[in-house]
Homo-oligomer: A and B are copies of this chain.
Amino acid sequence: MATAVGKKFPNISVNAMNDMGDTFQINVLEEAVNNKKKVLLFWYPKDFTFVCPTELHAFQAALPEFEKRNTVVIGASVDSAEVHFAWLSTAKDNGGIEGVTYPLLADTNRNLSEALGILDSTEVYDEETQTISKEGDDVTYRATYLIDEEGTVFHEGVNHMPVGRNVNEFLRLIDAYAHVQSHGEVCPANWEEGKEA
Residues of the B chain whose Cβ atoms lie less than 8 Å from the Cβ of A111: 133-134
Which residues of B are found within 8 Å of A4, using beta-carbon distances? 158
Q: Please, how many angstroms separate the alpha-carbon atoms of A111 and B85 in the complex?
A: 26
- How many angstroms from the CA of A137 to the CA of B156 in the assembled complex? 20
A77's nearest neighbour on chain B, judged by CB, is B80
The main secondary structure of chain A at its interface with chain B is: loop
* This protein's copies in its complex: 10
A191 interface residue, CB < 8 Å from B? yes
Total number of A residues with any Cβ neighbor in B under 8 Å: 81
In residues 160-176 of chain A, which contact B (Cβ within 8 Å)?
Answer: 160-169, 172-173, 176
Is A117's CB under 8 angstroms from B2's CB?
yes
A82–B157 touching, CB < 8 Å: no
Inter-chain contacts of A154 with B (CB < 8 A): 159-160, 163
Given contacts A2-B122, A109-B121, contact A86 B159 (CB under 8 A): no
Given A6-B161, A58-B190, A86-B86, 5 extra CB contacts under 8 A: A109-B138, A163-B176, A163-B180, A164-B190, A165-B189
Nearest-neighbour CB distance to chain B for A131, whole angstroms, equals: 7
A91 in the interface, Cβ–Cβ < 8 Å? Answer: no
| Residues of A near any B CB (own CB < 8 A) | 1-6, 11-12, 15, 46-52, 54-55, 57-59, 78-80, 82-83, 85-87, 90, 108-111, 115, 117-122, 129, 131, 133-134, 136-139, 141, 143, 152-169, 172-173, 176-177, 180, 185-191
Closest 8 pairs between A and B when the two form their complex, measured CB to CB: A1-B1, A51-B186, A55-B189, A109-B138, A54-B188, A109-B134, A154-B160, A58-B189
